[in-house]
Amino acid sequence: MMDTKNFLFRQKEKINEFATDYSEHYTSKRDTQSEFQEQIERLRQQQSMLYAQAKHGILIILQAMDAAGKDGVIKHVMSGVNPQGCQVTSFKAPSKEELAHDFMWRCMKAMPERGNIGIFNRSYYEEVLIARIHPGLLASQNLPFYNRKLHEDEKFWKTRYNDIVNIEKYFMNNGYTIVKLFLNVSSQEQKRRFLSRIDNKTKNWKFEMGDVTERQHWDKYQKAYQIMLENTDHEGAPWYVIPADKKWYMRLVISKIIVEKLESLKLAYPTVGKHRMDDITNARLILLNE
């Protein structure tokens, strides 16, 4: 039986110790389908109670290199969820308005209401990933203490890591459960998927030259992810490192993690008080006597 604790980052020292093509005893997508559909049904039931109770909120953070399968996770894992209680926010390059605020602003205002599931396709973690790789992005934030060497200042990054952790704890103190998922794809598999987008005309729309450009910084990104995971993994919101080379296995793992998190909240439908029950009884009599 799958133990999702095996994917917790804190059990490993380096992300390269997590096999990207790991799939336990499963050998194909067919092997996972029955179990996956069971998880989808459990997720549907839990979401229904989450929405009705409206006391807890769920934030799912998907971070990964390009082509790791973030969009597919949203499409397939959340396939049974009621759209009315789920919202997806994809974070691209920040707008002028967003750059005029603090780096967490655009994510803070995208937080789901309690009772809902929010999914961040990329997130505020980009501010300690891509901003490390491309120093010019810090310049565009117009920080009062900006200097050309700021991206090399570990004290600055440490402050950002601490700010992120503190804000996550703030979310948790207000009834939110945060599920942080790093989809760990290999360089070889990313290359294969990029070529598929190029060679398959039905996938051409997915291809962006910028993806290949960013791929040239692979080693830098791996280092940035390593440092990020080390500094932002905490007990209340730990990181899960998910093997992403086999999409069908990745989706099963993620569905189980989300269901476990929801079930740990001991959700239930709201109970109805006596006054409300009297109204319900009277309403039934009125309808039957029409």
Mean pLDDT across the chain, nearest whole number?
95
What pLDDT score does 271 carry?
85
**Contact, 230 vs 255, CB < 8 A?**
no
What is the pLDDT averaged over residues 154-178? 98
Give the total number of structural domains in the chain: 1
What pLDDT score does 17 carry?
87
What pLDDT score does 79 carry?
93
The sign of the dihedral angle between the CA atoms of 11, 17, 20, 26 is: negative
Please state whether 175 falls in left (phi above 0), alpha (psi between -120 and 50) or beta: left
Domain carrying residue 158: 4-288
- Does the pLDDT value for residue 31 go beyond 80? yes
Its pTM stands at: 0.94
Question: Sorting pLDDT into bands at 50, 70 and 90, what band is 211?
Answer: confident
Q: Which residue has the tokens 């059990």?
A: 11
Strands across the sheet with 86-90, in order?
86-90, 117-121, 57-64, 176-184, 239-243
- Does the pLDDT value for residue 121 go beyond 80? yes
What pLDDT score does 16 carry?
87
What pLDDT score does 106 carry?
97
- Contacts of 99-108 with CB under 8 Å at 24 or more apart are 99/140, 99/141, 99/142, 100/142, 103/127, 103/141, 103/160, 104/163, 104/164, 104/167, 108/167
Q: What CATH number has the domain bearing residue 201? A: 3.40.50.300
